[in-house]
């Protein structure tokens, strides 16, 4: 039983789960809950637990944060398979996946700045809100081939966006997209509201959505364990998995850890770091209990 009061869902025998933090800071109680959840499911399944460092964004991620996260997880009593996958060492694999989509005409370069997009969205009036804000208005999708070539030729910085309409036309599953949530059954998941999402950023030649799907497939993850704040992204992940021929994992989204007043514990809301709890003299068992897993799963 986790702190959220819900029993752990039952994983299939031999399940491979993972914890995939972005090393942008110290591990906090919410992260610890997520790691313990994935670890507990793998143990229950007699399976395997993996750690993956999602560090493609060099401007926000630091090796010292990754090292501190690993140290805190080990202190909590968790063990994972080695070697740990670090996304920054696999950029060529993400590039190859992007090339496969580009070869099918499913990507286009987008030269817009954030300010230009905001202006266009405002001018269009009440654009419907997608899961990550208003969908991109499609400005660069409508560039002429010559205009696109000119801008590429002079090296203008650009992102790569998925042409959502073309992608949906290429991969329309009978009955629509869906995913299997452990213990809950099949849930419908429509990627269309994301619109033309960025799959390679201007500053980082990949994106969270692409890398997470690539790596779950590459590492043989069979149950994606993560917080339910990421559940809406699953619709887009099912589309990418289908387009790229990657296997469909099961999903186990856990409720976010909340404090006694019911507020979710996230770093930006001042959730205590594992470091600070250690420094105040709490031991691993006490901190595991605060994170909802007194018996280590």
Q: Which residues bind ligand GLU (CB under 6 A)?
A: 20-22, 54, 212, 226, 230
Shortest separation between residue 232's beta carbon and ligand GLU, angstroms: 12
Helices (H), the chain: 29-45, 63-75, 91-103, 114-123, 145-153, 164-170, 208-218, 233-244, 274-279, 284-290
* Residue with smaller CB distance to ligand GLU, 20 or 250: 20
Shortest separation between residue 31's beta carbon and ligand GLU, angstroms: 8
């007699």: which residue's tokens?
Answer: 46
Shortest separation between residue 84's beta carbon and ligand GLU, angstroms: 14
Strands in 16-19's sheet, in edge-to-edge order, are 16-19, 48-53, 85-86
Shortest separation between residue 94's beta carbon and ligand GLU, angstroms: 14
CB-based contact 53:23 (threshold 8 Å): yes
* Residue with smaller CB distance to ligand GLU, 73 or 212: 212
| Distance (Å, whole) CA 276 – CA 288 | 14
**Cβ neighbours of residue 67 under 8 Å, at least 6 residues apart?**
none
Residue 33 C-beta-side C-alpha neighbours within 13 Å: 29
**Tokens coding 111:** 């030269």
Of residues 19, 18, 41, 26, the one with CA closest to residue 297: 41
Shortest separation between residue 60's beta carbon and ligand GLU, angstroms: 11
**Tokens coding 285:** 């068992």
* Residue with smaller CB distance to ligand GLU, 38 or 130: 38
* Residue with smaller CB distance to ligand GLU, 237 or 288: 237
- Residue nearest ligand GLU, CB atom distance: 226
**Tokens coding 212:** 């997470």
86, 151, 267, 296: the catalytic one is: 267
Shortest separation between residue 239's beta carbon and ligand GLU, angstroms: 15
* Residue with smaller CB distance to ligand GLU, 54 or 163: 54
* Residue with smaller CB distance to ligand GLU, 110 or 204: 204
Q: How far is CA 37 from CA 27, 127, 132, in A?
A: 15, 37, 26
The yes-or-no answer on residue 231 being catalytic is no
Burial 88-119 (b: 16+ CB within 10 A, else e): bebeeebeebbeebeeeebbbbbbbeeeebee
Catalytic residue list: 267
């Amino acid at each position: 039983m986790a702190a959220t009061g819900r029993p752990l869902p039952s994983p299939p025998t031999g399940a491979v789960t993972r914890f995939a933090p972005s090393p942008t800071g110290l591990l906090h109680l919410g992260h610890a809950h997520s790691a313990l959840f994935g670890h507990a499911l793998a143990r229950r399944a007699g399976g395997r637990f993996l750690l993956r460092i999602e560090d493609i964004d060099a401007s926000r991620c630091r090796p010292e944060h990754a090292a501190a996260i690993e140290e805190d997880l080990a202190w909590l009593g968790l063990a994972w398979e080695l070697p740990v996958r670090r996304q920054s060492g696999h950029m060529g694999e993400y590039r190859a996946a992007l090339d496969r989509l580009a070869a099918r005409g499913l990507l286009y370069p987008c030269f817009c700045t954030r300010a230009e997009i905001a202006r266009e969205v405002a001018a269009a009036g009440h654009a419907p809100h997608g899961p990550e804000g208003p969908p991109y208005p499609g400005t660069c999708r409508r560039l002429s081939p010559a205009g696109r070539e000119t801008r590429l030729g002079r090296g203008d910085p650009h992102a790569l966006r998925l042409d959502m309409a073309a992608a949906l036309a290429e991969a329309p599953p009978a009955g629509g997209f869906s995913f299997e949530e452990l213990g809950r059954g099949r849930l419908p998941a429509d990627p269309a509201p994301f619109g033309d999402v960025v799959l390679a950023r201007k500053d980082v030649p990949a994106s969270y959505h692409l890398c997470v799907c690539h790596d779950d497939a590459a590492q043989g993850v069979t149950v994606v364990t993560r917080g339910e704040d990421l559940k809406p992204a699953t619709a887009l992940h099912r589309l990418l998995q289908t387009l790229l021929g990657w296997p469909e994992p099961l999903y186990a989204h856990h409720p976010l850890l909340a404090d006694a007043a019911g507020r979710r514990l996230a770093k930006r809301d001042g959730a205590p770091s594992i470091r600070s709890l250690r420094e105040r003299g709490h031991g691993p068992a006490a901190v595991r209990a605060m994170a909802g897993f007194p018996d280590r799963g």
